[in-house]
Structure formats: structure tokens, C-alpha cells
Amino acid sequence: MQNIVILAGTIRQAPETRTTRTGTDVTRFKLVTSRPRYSEGRVVRDENGYRVEDAEWHRVVAFNGLGRTIQQYCETGTKVLVRGRIHYTKWQDADGQDRYGCEIVAETVDFLSRAPQTDEDEGRFIDEDDIPT
């Protein structure tokens, strides 16, 4: 049996790195993935004919060197491919209620794009395809 997750998505919360008391670097970020919405076996489209997409949010954690690399090279808007495993946690809140959580523990992260950079003159994102060669 194996616990394997592969997600391709966009970082929607800039990575944050903290160091534990034992010196382990822990980097966390939120990744959003999307998929087309279906109804009666067909893709749902809006009034303009565009596909309606459902977004899902994933909490991702990476440790030590991988986490430092993510912190250094990724920011909001970066597209990544995350390979790892699902990790479930259970804890009690201040009221004694059981709480549950789920996160993806990244084992590898491939960078699929750079984060979009804004063009101050026009206030829009620059796409690498727009750059003349």
C-alpha cells in the first residue's frame, strides 16, 4: 500500500518558513488546483461560453532544503507540481473539541512557471509569451 499525491496548481499564499527548536526548517504554503464543473455528464459553461471551474485548496508543507528552495524561488502565482503524501492530524482545541486537519507533505516540487510580475506602467501581469524574442 502507498500514500502518493501528485498536485499541479498555483501557489496562492506565499511560502512561510519557520525553524523548530531542533533546527528543522518547516515551509508551508497554500496551493490551489481547479477542475471543470460537471452537470449531467457535461461540462458546465457560463453565459459567455467559458467553462465553470471548481477550485480546491491544499495545505502543503516541505522540510529543510526543499522548503528553503521553495521559500527562495516561489511566491504567490508560481505554478508548481507537488509530489508527496497526505498527512492527517487530530488535536483538541481550547474548548476540548476534537479537530482534524489534512496537509500534503511535499517530497519533491517542480517549478512549472515563475510567479507573474506586474508591469507598473499598465498594471497588468506580464506573460512570458508576451515578451518579444
User: Can you tell me the distance from the alpha carbon of 112 to that of 10, in angstroms, rounded to the nearest whole number?
Assistant: 9
Domain ranges of the chain: 5-130
Task: Using pLDDT thresholds of 50, 70 and 90, give the confidence band for residue 113.
Answer: confident
Only one residue has cell 516561489, namely 74
Q: Is 26 exposed, middle or buried (0-12, 13-18, 19+ CB in 10 A)?
A: middle
- Tens-place pLDDT, residues 59-104: 999 999 999 999 999 999 999 999 999 999 999 999 999 999 999 9
Architecture label for domain 5-130: Beta Barrel (2.40)
Residue 127 has pLDDT above 60, yes or no: no
CA-wise closest residue to 71 among 27, 20, 19, 116: 27
pLDDT in the model for residue 128: 52
Give yes or no for residue 120 having a pLDDT over 80: no
Phi, psi of 25 (to 5 degrees): -85, 130
| Per-residue model confidence (pLDDT) at position 133 | 45
| % residues pLDDT > 90 (the chain) | 81
